[in-house]
């Protein structure tokens, strides 16, 4: 059951390479979970991050975990209890805005691959020293955006990133052009109004457009 940091990074890197954009989802109603996941997967975005920011989040993960072709993860993991609940609900990976030893220890112990967050060279180096080479760059835009991430990558080329926080269709390409970026995280592919109205075809269209970003 236990997973090493190296294996965790290999798995999260594999997940991040599934598509250029990983949807960051805040879902209030579990009834929307399955059709939302189906629309995103049909549009070409198979790696899904469900943030633990709503009371329905764990039920949403349970529903999405049953969608064929989807790889569902739990975002906003803060505590070991969050990690355990996410794994029990069916999450195949976890995402955290930062990283603590308590959270890293817990995810490794239960075998949940974690994409830990870092915003500085020191944080990235600390995680690399532990064995994590695939990281989340958060909050991306507030931390200096693509220029900052490019600068961090110069002395640390062995680290890959998934930047999230302020990513949009307008700036995603800038990040995806960086050699140390595997994918970006973004919430624009599942706007709240479209989810609430059940406009799954519109969400599938947004997902399809996002799935082509960075491709030439």
- Per domain, the residue ranges of the chain are 5-210
Q: Residue 142 in contact with residue 165, Cβ under 8 Å?
A: yes
Ranges of the chain with pLDDT below 50: none
3-state DSSP assignment of residue 170: coil
Instruction: Return the pLDDT at 93.
Output: 98
For 5-210, CATH number out of 3.30.479.30, 3.40.50.300, 3.40.50.1220, 3.20.20.70 equals 3.20.20.70
d(CA 216, CA 212): 9
d(CA 199, CA 190): 10
Sort residue 164 into left (φ over 0), alpha (ψ -120 to 50) or beta: beta
Q: Omega of the bond prior to 163 within 30 degrees of 0, cis? A: no
Catalytic member of 38, 49, 63, 204? 49
Q: Residue 29 in contact with residue 173, Cβ under 8 Å?
A: no
Instruction: Return the pLDDT at 164.
Output: 98
Token pair of 210 as six digits? 């996002």
Catalytic member of 38, 63, 87, 136? 136
136 is catalytic: yes
Instruction: Return the pLDDT at 49.
Output: 98
pTM more than 0.95: yes
Summarised one tens digit per residue, pLDDT across range 14-28 is: 999 999 999 999 999
Instruction: Return the pLDDT at 1.
Output: 86
Token pair of 100 as six digits? 């603590």
Residue 127: closest CA among 6, 1, 3, 2: 6
- The CA dihedral of 144, 52, 62, 36, to the nearest 10 degrees, is -50
Backbone angles phi and psi of 137, in degrees to 5: -100, 110
Backbone angles phi and psi of 163, in degrees to 5: -75, 135
Q: Residue 50 in contact with residue 82, Cβ under 8 Å?
A: no
49 is catalytic: yes
């Amino acid at each position: 059951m236990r997973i090493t940091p190296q294996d965790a990074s290999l798995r999260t890197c594999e997940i991040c390479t599934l598509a250029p954009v990983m949807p960051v989802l805040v879902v209030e109603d579990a009834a929307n979970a399955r059709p939302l996941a189906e629309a995103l997967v049909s549009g070409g975005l198979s790696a899904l991050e469900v943030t633990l920011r709503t009371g329905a989040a764990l039920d949403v993960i349970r529903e999405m975990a049953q969608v064929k072709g989807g790889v569902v993860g739990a975002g906003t993991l803060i505590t070991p209890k969050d990690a355990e609940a996410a794994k029990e609900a069916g999450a195949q990976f976890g995402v955290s805005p930062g990283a603590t030893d308590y959270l890293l220890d817990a995810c490794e112990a239960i075998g949940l691959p974690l994409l830990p967050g870092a915003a500085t060279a020191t944080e990235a180096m600390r995680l690399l020293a532990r064995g994590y080479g695939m990281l989340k760059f958060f909050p991306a835009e507030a931390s200096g955006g693509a220029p900052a991430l490019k600068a961090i990558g110069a002395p640390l080329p062995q680290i890959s990133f998934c930047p999230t926080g302020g990513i949009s269709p307008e700036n995603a390409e800038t990040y995806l052009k960086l050699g140390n970026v595997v994918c970006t995280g973004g919430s624009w592919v599942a706007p709240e109004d479209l989810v609430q109205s059940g406009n799954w075809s519109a969400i599938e269209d947004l997902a399809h457009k996002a799935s082509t970003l960075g491709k030439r």
